[in-house]
Amino acid sequence: MDLQSLTLLVEIIDSGNLSQAARKLKMTRANVSYHLTQLEKSVGVQLIRRSTRLVEPTEVGLRLYEHGRAIQNEILAARETVTSLGQGLMGRVGISVPSGYGQMVMSEWLIEFKRLYPGIVLDVLFENRTDHLRDEVDIAIRVIAEPPLSVIARSLGPMRYVACASREYVAAHGLPTTLYELRNSPVITAGVIGRQLRLSAYQGEERQEVMLEPTLISEHFPFLHQGILAGLGVGLVPDYVVQAEVARGEVLLTLQEYRLSIFGNHLYLMYLPDRHQTRAVRTCIDFLLAKAGHGAAPTAPDPGRATA
């Protein structure tokens, strides 16, 4: 058994099927299957249970996978140590952020991070996805109720939604003061076009659900912000979207006795526990946690000093 064989096994189990592993390894599916069979013959036991679409490791296969993953991580760490000697912090960080929070809050943080660490390649995806981490993403920021057990999740704080409208809209139509009245108002929010939106409203431990049919829907939160200020309806958005206008009295809040939630009520920073983290990724995680108020922000290293 050699490192190449262990790498093959790791990629197959990570990918979940032979075809995807073949694409990642730039091999044919038949070639991957052949090398897997040869590996199983060399160790004398079945390592992977195959079905039409999926693969599942046996107990021995899972143990070998863990060894292979640990060896890969050690090799990556050694390479990083060698390449970083005598240089400033370098590497690549792939980060996936929600479109609204990413555009309106995190973009300034990420620009500041890039200024601190110009040697780091920052690859930022603005997206609203239900999956969390994939090959090109080292860090995922998600608004969810509960993070999955398969990831390490660090809290960035609660996500608070508000019901709001511009003074222009309030003067013409008034503000809904009950959840029932909200159902009959033109609602501006993020959601799925053509489908009703489920709003959760909490008072202490009591929870109510309201089905809404928004009249202005977008994943682009600056556009929703414009729609609210233009008086097109009642906004259901995270508080950061209208924070400045609320402070100036240009946008009014309603239903403040409720804790409102649409996609989740908490913001998490997530990463995989078994994936090697470069110093660039670890530094970015610490930086973002500090920005959210959960630690001290790292400072840029002296480019003249060696980094390990």
What string of pLDDT tens digits covers the 308 residues of the chain?
667 777 878 888 877 778 887 887 788 888 888 888 888 888 888 888 877 677 788 888 788 887 777 776 666 666 656 555 445 678 889 999 988 899 899 999 999 999 999 999 999 999 877 666 666 789 999 988 788 888 889 999 888 999 999 999 999 999 999 999 999 999 999 876 556 788 989 988 899 999 998 999 998 899 999 999 999 999 999 999 999 999 999 999 999 999 998 877 889 999 888 777 788 999 999 999 999 886 555 555 444 333 32
The whole model's pTM is what?
Answer: 0.64
| Residue 248 pLDDT | 96
| Residue 133 pLDDT | 65
Rounded-to-10 torsion of CA 241, 142, 129, 69: 150
- Tokens of residue 72, six digits: 């890969």
* Residues 6+ positions from 273 with CB-CB distance below 8 Å: 151, 152
Positive or negative: CA dihedral 172, 178, 182, 185: negative
| Residue 304 pLDDT | 39
| Residue 277 zone, left/alpha/beta (φ > 0; ψ -120 to 50; rest) | beta
Closest CA to 188 of 166, 160, 210, 159: 166
| Residue 277 pLDDT | 76
* Residues 6+ positions from 28 with CB-CB distance below 8 Å: 22
Question: What angle separates helix 29-43 from helix 18-25, to the nearest 10 degrees?
Answer: 100
**Residues for the chain: how many in total?**
308
Burial letters 60-97, b for 16+ CB under 10 A, else e: ebeebbeebbeebeeeeeeebeeebeeebbbbebbbbb
Residue 240 identity (one-letter amino acid): Y
Query: Cα 247 to chain center, whole Å?
Result: 29
The answer to whether residues 258 and 278 touch, using CB atoms and an 8 Å cutoff, is: no
| Residue 195 pLDDT | 64
Helices (H), the chain: 3-15, 18-25, 29-43, 59-84, 99-101, 107-116, 167-173, 179-183, 221-229, 243-248, 279-291
Positive or negative: CA dihedral 150, 151, 157, 158: negative
The answer to whether residues 270 and 142 touch, using CB atoms and an 8 Å cutoff, is: yes
- Measured between alpha carbons, how far is 112 from 106 in angstroms, rounded to an integer? 10
| Residue 150 pLDDT | 82
Closest CA to 254 of 161, 164, 173, 160: 164
- Measured between alpha carbons, how far is 61 from 57 in angstroms, rounded to an integer? 5
Helices (H), 145-242: 167-173, 179-183, 221-229
